Structure 1
């Protein structure tokens, strides 16, 4: 066997060892324009009060509207309602690896100096033949922290969840109304 044939055989074996379609960041570009929410089973969250060593159950409905995607990064707006608190708005920037690992960063919207950042992590997980975002986050201060995880699912016009979000009984456009604006789709 010549060096050329040996090299060709080695390359053929290496190619055969790779999956037929290796994942790339382009595989997630369908996230652009999607909206995600917390289904009923994922609403429970907890507030931990260290001074009392107490864990307090609370509902957390969170909705993401992803307005842009580029090379494994996505961005948009988030509206969240924790317990009886008013809806809070955040800007969202996240990344997703070819394998579906997610990293999320939330900052107050509109932005103000001194705003705290909330970090979340997760994975894209196929459940019941649809993609879900299995996300975890923690935020708060030294006096109280909120922890929450959920399998977030997509919603869109024409689905029941679009017209009545679990836990808040509001339509997605009404829930997101104060958190969306006419900002361009590209981060500054």
Structure 2
């Protein structure tokens, strides 16, 4: 900022000096015209021209070097970038906090579901055990009742007769294979042929 002030001050001083030189040159030119002195009129005109060029150069230098607008734009852009970065960091922190909260909720839900599942499994196991004992008791009672009623007497078998075979009579021939047997209707047809 200090450099800008010195540059602006120098440009203003140069413009003021050029304005003074232009005023003096205008006076010399006017004197040369009134006195009919060509060298004075031309010299005053040239001095005015040089002063005008000096003023234009000073103004163009000040315009080229003056970066106030660019610095303001840069400062605004920096502030906006810092605000954007602050918002981004805040959103990142908020997203991380939300993620941690979701993880905690999921862990809580998982633990609750695990406890519920274990409780349901224990209840089903207990119900199964209770029913199994009841079924065993009922089947034992039914077995005892059948035994007392005499319905559970096992047939007496000799130890060697696991599968009883049919005994053949003497002279009885073994039956033919079922594929070798001819149906009765077919035999009757064969007998009736000439």
Q: Which has the higher contact order (CA 8 A, sep 6+)?
A: 1
Higher fraction of strand:
1
Question: Structure 1 length as normaliser, TM-score?
Answer: 0.19
TM-score with structure 2 length normalisation? Answer: 0.18
Structure number having the greater helix percentage = 2
- Which one has the largest radius of gyration? 2
